[in-house]
Amino acid sequence: MMKQFFAAMSLAIMVLCANHALANSNTQEVTRVAAEASTKLRLNQASVEQLIAVPGLGQVKAQAVVDYIAQNGAIKSEADLTKVKGIGEKLAARIAQYVSFD
């Protein structure tokens, strides 16, 4: 009888520990994603001066992004970014690391 009690207690403790570890890993992932999102520049609301700070964008390409948004509306994805004159797939992928498309 005592063996069954200790076995049940051990199992309960393992389940609680596993649940706690899983909850912590999920919380850490959500925190990381939220922090990353809050540090990205909002591409569609950015000024030329803000865009110049993005690696790979100089004055001319930053202005092209702002002009494209003014003429065509919001850029909603990395693929849309390639529609801006002077921005190809490689540069769009690089820029996408630093901006959000909301």
Find all residues with CB under 8 Å of 10, minimum gap 6, and list them: none
CA distances from 37 to 29, 96, 97 (A): 12, 12, 10
| Band of pLDDT at residue 39, cut at 50, 70 and 90 | confident
Question: What DSSP element (H or E) covers 36?
Answer: helix 2-39
Q: What is the pTM of this model?
A: 0.63
What pLDDT, in 10s, does the model give residues 49-86? Answer: 999 999 999 999 999 999 999 999 999 999 999 999 99
Mean pLDDT, range 39-48, rounded to an integer: 95
CB atoms within 10 A of CB 47: 9
